[in-house]
Structure 1
Amino acid sequence: MNLKLFDLALLLYLTSTVLWLFFLKREGFGRIAYFLFFGGFVALLLGMLVRWWETHLLGFPYPPLANMYESLVFFSWVLSLFYLFFFSRKYKGRLFGLLSSLSCSLLLLIPLWVGMDRSPKPLVPALQSFWLYLHVITCFLGYGGLGIGFLFSLIYLFVEKNKEVLEEGTYKAIVLGFLFLTLGIITGAAWAHYAWGRYWAWDPKETWS
């Protein structure tokens, strides 16, 4: 059931992208694209809740944040969240909507392109911790903020109007992403100490963060 909801979300995001792409200058189609995008956001949320319940029934009582597929789904949802509730009301450009829906579509298409296993799996012992909730959620909220900042920056490069508005949006998104990513690094260090007895080991993931 959860995969059907995720596939529905992908269909809604793709349709929204097409409408914004081919009818970028028509306001009526822009509204339809916005509501389709919102539908994708709701479908993803419902899909994650259903997946959480289904994994619980399988004996894996953890949120759907534990593997690459679930991470891509959650990242797509976070981008949608930031676009819909934090930035789209003030930054109403339809190009912003186009790039947001395209980004969410690509995140959901990647697992299909590479043939990624979409079935839930049991967690390894090191991941069976309440730190999973805190670390993964704060990190992906940080990625979402930085992702929105990236989209604003792309628009800034190709659009001559409203440069100050785009600069403001980029700044706010990056600040939001930086704050959440900082919390993600802190909770990750705490989790590492809880799981392996050390806060930092200079492994590639920690270093790049």
Structure 2
Amino acid sequence: MPLQNRVQPTGEINAHPARGGFMGNRGILHDEDGLHPKRRWAHQNWVCCVLSFKGRRRQLMAPRRYTELFFLDEAVAFAVGHRPCAECRGAEYRRFRGCCDVPGPAAALDCQLHAERAVPRIFQQRRYADVEAHDLPDGSFILDHAGKSGVLSGDAFYPYAPEGYQTAQKRPQGRVTLLTPPSVVTAFRAGYRPQIALEGAQV
């Protein structure tokens, strides 16, 4: 039975058998019964990590160890407010910081991202309504006019599914709801190119 550790771009954490492309850390979110029904973070430095690093091995959801979360790709991790890990993804972290307009140490970036990604006290994703779709860079996650989440790439909108993106649709026109935090969108505009798992999607 799959563990409840797969993060959706809309903020939910579900159980799904498909393998993720990246791992994330927000602290200890589980106990002996599994993922806590309400707790969705234990600290503000939400990182996005590679699946394999220096041969380290972990027991998933081990007692008193941080909860391993998984994302389809980097675009999904960014959509929910994670940023590259400075240890296992040092080059990506430095490149992201170089494209980000948040000065200071990593803690300042994490504080800014946390304010942009989370609604205080109710553990919900902060979203941004009435954003012009044509103005958003590749890698941005939105809700289309039907309320379906997906990623923008070129002239296309790729609807999201946990097992991979669905057939491409034309990029929505007009105003949409943005899921990706504004500071991340700024980094995309400045040249950071997030990994998007479009290999199996049909154009």
Higher strand share: 2
- TM-score normalized by structure 2? 0.28
